[in-house]
Amino acid sequence: MSDDTSSRYINRELSWLEFNQRVLDEACDPTIPLLERLKFIAISGSNMDEFFMVRVGGLQILTDRGVTRPDPAGMTPAQQLAAIRQRVRRMTADQYACFMTEIEPGLEQHGIRRIRPEQMTERQSQSAAQVFLNDIYPIFSPLATSSADDFPRLINHTLNVCVRLAPQAGDGEQARFAVIPFGRGARRFLTLHSEGGYSYMLLEDAVSMFADRFFPGEEVLECTPFRITRNADIAIRDDTASDLLADMQDLLDARKTTDCVRLAIAAYTSPELLAFLQEVLEVPDEDVFKQPGPLVLSDFMALTDLNGFDALKLEPWPPQPPVDIDPTVSMFDIISQHDVLLCHPYDSFDPVVRLIEEAAEDPDVLAIKQTLYRTSRNSPIVAALARAAQRGKYVTAIVELKARFDEASNIEGAKLLEQADAQVIYGVKGLKTHAKICLIIRREPHGIQRYIHFGTGNYNEVTARIYSDISLMTCNEELGADATSFFNAITGYSQPRRYRKIEAAPTGLRDKLIEMIEAETKRKQQGQKAHIVIKLNSLVDPQIIEALYAASQAGVSVKLNIRGICCLRPGVKGLSENIEAISIIDRFLEHARIFYFSHGGDERVYISSADWMPRNLDRRVELLTPVEDTAARRRLINILDTYFRDTKKARRLLPDGGYEMIVPDAQPSLSSQETLYRAACDAIRRTKQSQLTMFEPHRASE
């Protein structure tokens, strides 16, 4: 095996693009209902937007600064940008081929029709004209522009229309331009009259159709939709910030004026109009993406919720009430009897919300300490913490203002908590607090009792219905002591004493992970059985990858379930032939981090907030939590096993960074997510049957 690092690592950015391709592959799957396929098209578009804002924006900054240092895969920033652009153009072509030749015609056959201006009936034309006069013309403002000096400041990722007007007399051949910005609140899909089904037209088509109304007496030569992506890879130096909240609000303002890293524009745009936009936006040819269909495919997510088209959607899988949680019994009583492990979204997130809401109302609860990374807009958890503070409980909320693209929501929640007299800590200086933990201190007859929730996902009841995550609720004394030390370290900016059970980043998490991997390696070298099974969102960290390579070379069986980025090359002879890596993309976003080490028969299982990436291990506050309850540990091992039996949605990572579908053997194909959901439903059904059986003798006697 060559020592060349490019032969040991897959480039992070190209690995991410392959993840997005797997999302797009779901949209191209003809066995999936059409509106679900449209959903995956929209997700792939939204993913790409964020990728350009953050990853491409960051690489452009490095390139502009003349940085040539290669990444672990041996690629310089300029080489990465070139490879990204080439791969993105292929993916964009695939997106539109799928959307325009499969999904859109299929939807039309089932009554969901996009109507172009030339296809309108007389009644539809009249309806469109009425909508334009009532809802568009009074609101939108055309902005004349002739150069970069007077070009309007456009909002990132919003649609606009550029209008080219005929030259005025005396101006020679010089064309004139105007921009009509749509803004954030614009309604993209305009409902039209239809004899059946749902007919709509796009907002940009309506503006183009009636553009001459904005310019009376002028000749409109062209009306073209376009959209810009600004660089969002900017940050504040929070270690020097005097007022983090104010500085974060300044950062949000700064993102509105950063450089354009991508110009998406209709493929039919004239050379004259395109040249004008490139000049005023300072966009080179390589950052122009001409698109053959509607721009902003992510907007089409709105159509996936249309009523009356259930046949075009998947069967609903509502979260199930956990069988070991009685809704009539206090969460404190339940947790004091046994640890509670929940696998969301198969198990409902309601018990987590209920625990915090009960804590807010319970007169015996003295304090609540909680991290908040991404919450919902009207979060019941934030509201419960505010009520707790208003009732005189000691409430400490560590609100991470640097949760990218959720900054505004977190600022809103932080202000609400401050107004309720909660102690609000804006994370840790120089780090991002990504750990998911809630500590509740309660006075009980035997003394002070600590109840803790550890999670792999956010305290967000909305995303908990579509993200696959793990919750552990416990009153274990040692975990409670560790939780107290953890919060004291954050709020007091002190170094924590050595934890009893948990481990945290950035202080010792990487070392702990490598230690556990190396322990399996040593056992294998001593002739013992050794096995590692890992479920993550991303695997990037070179030190951990090297430890996994060493384990494989010693003969340790390593199974990796990595949803997104994986920089490790599996199945390479002499390096990683004992490593298998899969990725599962299905209706729920796989988000849980679960780690299993056989440990010589003394099985060790952990859940974590952290992916194995340098940013998580070096620049974030993260947690690793052991799951020691026998039933909970066995359930997590079974969940991991279920993922590796998936032959319907799992794709195998190849040594070259590509992926292939896993072909099932003689057995029927198996979907891990469906298996886990059916198991949750079966557990509820068995519980109800058991309850009925208990009462049968009573009914017989009656």
Residues with active-site annotation? 434
Calculate Rg over the CA atoms of the chain: 28
User: What distances in angstroms separate CA 1 from CA 8, 71, 455, one per listed residue?
Assistant: 9, 19, 40
CB atoms within 10 A of CB 112: 23
Strands (E), 184-339: 189-192, 198-202, 220-230, 260-266, 288-291
Instruction: Answer left, alpha or beta for residue 473, where phi above 0 means left and psi between -120 and 50 means alpha.
Output: beta
- Decide: 562 and 536 in contact? Cβ < 8 Å: yes
CA angle 636, 639, 643 (to 5 degrees): 145
Please name the residues in contact with 681: beta carbons below 8 A apart, sequence gap of 6 or more.
Answer: 320
- Decide: 591 and 467 in contact? Cβ < 8 Å: yes
d(CA 659, CA 612): 20
- Decide: 339 and 633 in contact? Cβ < 8 Å: no
Q: Can you say how many angstroms the Cα of residue 106 is from the centroid of all Cα atoms in its chain?
A: 28
- Decide: 596 and 605 in contact? Cβ < 8 Å: yes
d(CA 672, CA 686): 21
CA dihedral 61, 66, 71, 75 (to 10 degrees): 110
Strands (E), 445-530: 447-455, 467-474, 503-505
Q: Determine the residue type at 653.
A: L
Nearest to 114 by CA among 264, 293, 312: 293
d(CA 235, CA 360): 35
Q: Most distant CA pair in the chain: distance in Å?
A: 103
Q: Which residue has the tokens 């009893």?
A: 500
DSSP 132: I
- Decide: 541 and 612 in contact? Cβ < 8 Å: yes
In the chain, DSSP finds a helix count (H) and a strand count (E) of 19, 27
CB atoms within 10 A of CB 610: 26
